[in-house]
Each structure stands twice: as C-alpha cells, then as structure tokens.
Structure 1
Amino acid sequence: MTTPPHVMEDAPKATDAPLPSATLGGDSKRSIEQITLLLFITVPFVALVAAVPLAWGWGVSWLDLGLMTFMYYLGCHGITIGFHRYFTHGSFKARRPLRVALAVMGSMAVEGPLVRWVADHRKHHKFSDAEGDPHSPWRFGETVPALMKGLWWAHIGWMFDEEQTPQHKYAPDLIKDPAIRAVSRQFVLWTAVSLALPPLVGGLVTWSWQGAVTAFFWGSLVRVALLHHVTWSINSICHAVGKRPFKSRDKSGNVWWLAVLSCGESWHNLHHADPTSARHGVMRGQIDSSARIIRWFELLGWAYDVRWPNAARIDARRKSGISDEGGAAKAA
C-alpha cells in the first residue's frame, strides 16, 4: 500500500503543540457512546427487517421510495467520494466548498464522525488483514468457525471494541483543519438533520402526519440500515470472497453484486492494489458511480489533480497470467 503523503506514520512529538479533539469523546469510546451506537444499529435494522412484510402487505409509496433512494445515494457518495477516496486516500484535490460539502454529506450517512472514520480506515490499510487491522475477517484464523466469527467481527463487532485508533496519529491533517474538525465534532447535528429531512419532506408533500411517519420509516430508518450493512459488507464480505485479479498484500476481492449499492466500492481488490486511485472499477463493465461523479466535479472545476488510473498503472498491478479480455475501462 502507498501511504498518502499527508498521513503521518508516527504520533506527534512531545514538543509539538497538542491538537484539539475532533470527536466529542476523543479517542476513547465511553459507555454512553457504545449504548448510542447499539441503538443506531439495532433500531434501523429492526426497521429493515420489518420493511419486507410491510411492503408486501401495504406497499410503499413512490414518495417514500424516492426519499429513501435519494437519501441513500446522498450519504453513500458522501462516504465513498468524501470520507473514503478524498479524505482518507487523497485521490483528488477539492475546492474548499466541495471539501466541506463532502464532509457534511458523509456525516449524513450516520457512520460516525469524519475524523474517526478516516483514522480507522487509514489504520486498516496500514495493517490490512494482518495484526493491527481494526476489522479484518481473518482476525481469528482461517478455519470455517474462525472465519464465521471473523465475519461478524469485521461487519459489526469491531465498532464496540474499546481500543480506539489514535486520531492524532492517523488523521492529523484533518484535525488541523478548523472547518473539517467542526463538521466532525458536529456529527450528532448532521445525524439529526439526516433523520429529520425525509419526514419533513414527506409531511409537507402529503400534508399529513401519516406521510411524515412513513417517510421517516423508509427514508430514515430503512435507508440508514441498508447503507450501514452495505458499507460494513465491504469490510467483511469483500475481504473474504471475490475475484482477485490484482496484486495486493491482503485478501481483498471484487464482489460484483455489491457494486451498484456500494457506489463502486466493492471493486475492492483494485482499491487495495492501488489505494489512491480515484476509480475502483477499472475493468470494462465494472460500474463505479463514485468515479463518474468525481469526473463531473473535475469537469466543473470543483476537483483537480485527480489520480485517474491509466493502462500502464493498471497493468503494473495485474497478476501475471490474468488479462482483462474486455479491456480496461476509461478514466470515468
């Protein structure tokens, strides 16, 4: 893995001025935070389970479906383009308004404060599928029982671990940015906005409490649960199964059936072979909506110095004897 130049490998020296905390709890995860985390996982999940019989029995309105889809992809691209490809890996540079907008969009996915998310993911790449990886499914071994335990750990369990990634070590560049630090510390606010928008729109459009309630169910609870489990599946499923046409030092794989829902993140093998690439789905037919939107940002002048893959860069990371019969995809 190539570490982005802005990521520090070592903790700040004792002589350095201490950096302010970018999350309300700092690096520690207090009991109240763990309880809150449990609620934000279980309540939307219960709604997700209930969604199937409810949709079968009473159906779902086009308004609720539209709100769920819009809010899902707003948060999903906030994570994939913002938290992941931009803030974690520096796949492109962004003008200041886009930088702040991506921070807010990612926060509305309700996956935790920006700086903590980035610190965890940078640590994951440093120790990918080895000792020190916060969420490898191979943590407990390679037997079937160990892998089953590991998949649970990689999917959800790791988030309740008391050991926290030191943010000052893995994300000092973000902590030093006052605007980004503020967005990270305002995670509760952006979570409230994210959950309140669908019922607000649903209530106003239908001019009824029922419209607000159903919009909250589908556009807030079901949407959050679905996005959570798709994102967590990149940690678990994409590090356990999938095709691996590119050379990486871990077990990251490409899982095609997650590509649309994950906004291109499930082309995970190329990502771990070339972490700073702005496009993950580099082979023909590999849908990567995040890369397409980054391309639009570039055309509008909002993003620049984008690290697009090229044929030489892709071929250098390809395993010997494996070729792309359809040819490599274009930059976006």
Structure 2
Amino acid sequence: MTVLTERPARQPKPEFEPEPKTRAELITFGIVVGAPIVALFAAVPFAWGWGLGWSDVIISAVFYVVSGLGVTVGLHRYFTHGSFKANRTMKIILGIAGSLSLEMSVLDWVATHRKHHKFSDKEGDPHSPWRFGPGFKSLSKGLLYAHMGWLFESERTNREKYAPDLVKDPDVMKLHRWFPALAFSSMLLPPILGGLVTWSWQGAVTAFFWGTVVRIGLLHHVTWSINSICHVFGEEAFEVRDKSRNVWWLAIPSFGESWHNLHHSDPTCARHGVLKGQIDLSAGLIRWFEKAGWVHDVRWPNPERLAAKRLG
C-alpha cells in the first residue's frame, strides 16, 4: 500500500530579493577604485616636466564641474530627494551629467542613497563608517569600508524597493540602459577634445590622464568622503539621528555636499549650507535654474523648521 505524503508547501519568494552583482561589475569597481589612486600618486612627477597644459586644466575642470554637479544637483538633490521639480529636458540633462561621473546609473545611485538614509549609521546602512564599532581599530576599518570598501559587496541595493518611482519612469530607465555608453563617453571625450585642441597625440594622452583618470578619481574620492569623513569628523549644528557632520574644507570640491549635518536633519531641503559662511554651489545652481524657469517647486530652507532642529 502506497502512502501518499503531503508535499511541503513552497515557501513564497521574498517580495524584494537582493540581486547579486556580476563578476564583471566587481572587477570594474576594482579598476575604478585602484587606477585613480595610482594615477594620483603619479600625477606630480608626470606633470613636472611636460605633462600638463592649459587645455588639460580647462578640459578637466569643465568635466569635473559638469559631472560633479550632475551628482550633487541631479542624482542627489533632484532624483533621490525631490528637492525640486524639473521639466523633462532638464531631468534628462541632469541624468546624463550625473552618469558622466561613472559612480552608478541614476537608478542604482538613487536606490543606494535612499537605503543609506533609511538606515543611516545603523544596521542596513550600505556604507556607514560605524559598521564595525567605535574603537580606533574598528573605526579605521569602518572609514575604509565607508569610503570605498562597500563597493565590493556582492549584493546590489534593490531597485524596486528603494526607487519604485524611478523604475516606472521611462526616461530614467533609458538613462539606466544608456549608462555604459555614457560612461565610455565620459572617458573618451577628454582625450578626443585634447587631441583636437592641440592637434597632437600628446595632447590626447595628457587630456586622458588629467581629464579622465585624475578627474574621475578625484570626484569619486570627494563623493566617497561624504560617506566616510562626514559621518565621523566635523561639527554638528542640527539635530540628527545619526553621526552626520559638517566638514568645511570639503565644501568647494563637493559643491556644498559636505554640509552634511543639515542634509540629514532635513533631507529634502535644496540648500545644505544654510548657516552664515557656508558656501553651497549646488544650491546656487538650483537657484539659477529656478530663475530661468527650468525647475520649480524648490524646497528652500524653512526658518521655523531650521530653528526647531538647531542645536544650542
């Protein structure tokens, strides 16, 4: 006699299952992290004799400003936090500019950063420097992890869970699919321009070194410093639930992002540097866009809300 046993019920699939990163992505992260560090060490002797000219300076500066503001104004304040609304043309321009940073696609950058805010400096934060504890050894390890070690984690932040609005946005999904092409454009345009301006192979090579390798490396390390340095060092001016702090000497290269304490106190605010003397170049650009009519409904600082969260 055959006994029929009841087949165990299949466990339901989790609503949001982590998607692993591919080996190619991890290798790419390694190259992106390692090559700029080597380049920065080589920069001074390379430039000492012949390797730096005005065309290199101008090309590097333009690409740094465009891609850097693409991150701060576009990926961060607009796409992630909705600090203002933009017309479709401006939305696409900001998405392209942010993609030129080679940090992540619009979709992945936003998903990761929203997860950071949800779990800031707690379990679940993708890149908290307090991950391993408060001691000197643990915090040193945590700073390195928060700066760039987290990029090597095998699991990707779930896009559908943390950026469902962008998953439904056809323009953002096109930018997401175009990210590899935009990344290659960001790497190849500086040497092409350098070669055309100087009409020489040497001009193309030096423009690639300064306008691509060093520019991308510098921008990445400035951005990563917000994750690491600005969650350990600096001053606290507003009440927050985490360790976010203000670091004044990063304000210019980060276009105002290092006024990080206010940002975590009031994440949707379009201006991060709200106190006297706090230069916020990103907010200045948003103001200019607003006056030109390209963006609207900007969430500027509210005096009452700031006063309620101001410390001592």
In the alignment, structure 1 residue 292 sits paired with structure 2 residue 284: yes
1:81 positional shift: 0.3
Letter of the 2:34 counterpart:
T
Deviation at 1:310, TM superposition (A): 2.9
Matched residue, 1:63: 55
Output the CA distance in 2 between the equivalents of 1:226 and 1:187: 20
Structure 1 unaligned residues grouped into runs of 5+: 1-12, 19-25, 322-332
Q: Deviations over 1:129-165 (max 9, x none)?
A: 0111000000000000000000011001111111221
Partner secondary structure for residue 127 of structure 2: coil
Structure-1-length-normalised TM-score: 0.87
| 2:123 is the alignment partner of 1:119 | no
CA distance in 2, matches of 1:114, 1:45: 25
Q: How does 1:242-321 map to 2 (within 5 A)?
A: 242-319=234-311, 321=312
Q: In the aligned structure 1, how far is the partner of 2:239 from the partner of 2:74?
A: 26
- Say if 1:130 and 1:139, in contact at 8 Å, map to a contact too: yes
* 1:54 maps onto 2:38 in alignment: no
Deviations 1:169-190 (A, max 9, x none): 0001111111111111211100
Corresponding position of 2:34: 42
Larger Rg: 2
Conserved? CA contact 1:95–1:302, under 8 Å: yes
Q: 1:157: which partner in 2?
A: 149
Alpha-carbon deviation of 1:36? Answer: 1.4
Aligned AA (1:190):
L
Alignment length (residue pairs): 298
Determine the C-alpha separation between the residues in 2 that align with 1:133 and 1:63. 41
Q: Name the residue aligned to 1:143.
A: 135
1:185-219 deviation line (CA, Å, top 9, x unaligned): 21110011111111111111111111111101100
State whether residues 27 and 167 of structure 1, in contact with CA within 8 Å, keep that contact through their aligned partners in structure 2: no
Q: Does residue 28 in structure 1 map to residue 20 in structure 2?
A: yes
- C-alpha distance in structure 2 between counterparts of 1:284 and 1:296, whole Å: 20
Name structure 2 gaps, 5 residues minimum. 1-13
Deviation, 1:27, is 3.2
| TM-aligned CA deviation for residue 53 of structure 1 | 1.9
CA–CA separation in structure 2 for the residues paired with 1:122 and 1:54:
40
Alignment correspondent of 1:3: none
Query: TM-score scaled by structure 2?
Result: 0.93
Distance 1:49 1:83 in 2: 29
Contact 1:75 1:106 in 2 (8 A): yes
Distance in 2 between the 1:47 and 1:113 partners? 24
1:183 corresponds to which of 175, 187, 197: 175
Cα-Cα RMSD? 1.4
**Are 1:90 and 2:82 counterparts?**
yes
SS of structure 2 residue aligned to 1:139: coil
Quote the Cα distance in structure 2 between the aligned partners of 1:59 and 1:216.
Answer: 11
The CA deviation at 1:58 is 3.2
Shift of 1:106: 0.2
The residue number in structure 2 matching 1:7 is none
Match of 1:235 in 2: 227
Q: What is the rounded CA distance, in whole Å, between the counterparts of 1:57 and 1:253 in structure 2?
A: 40
Q: Distance in 2 between matches of 1:45 and 1:97?
A: 35
* Identity percentage of aligned residues: 59
Distance in structure 2 (CA, Å) of the matches to 1:274 and 1:201: 41
Residues 224-277 of structure 1, C-alpha deviations (whole Å, 9 max, x = no match): 000000000000000011100100000000000000000000000000000000
Partner Cα separation in structure 2 for residue 208 and residue 122 of structure 1: 45
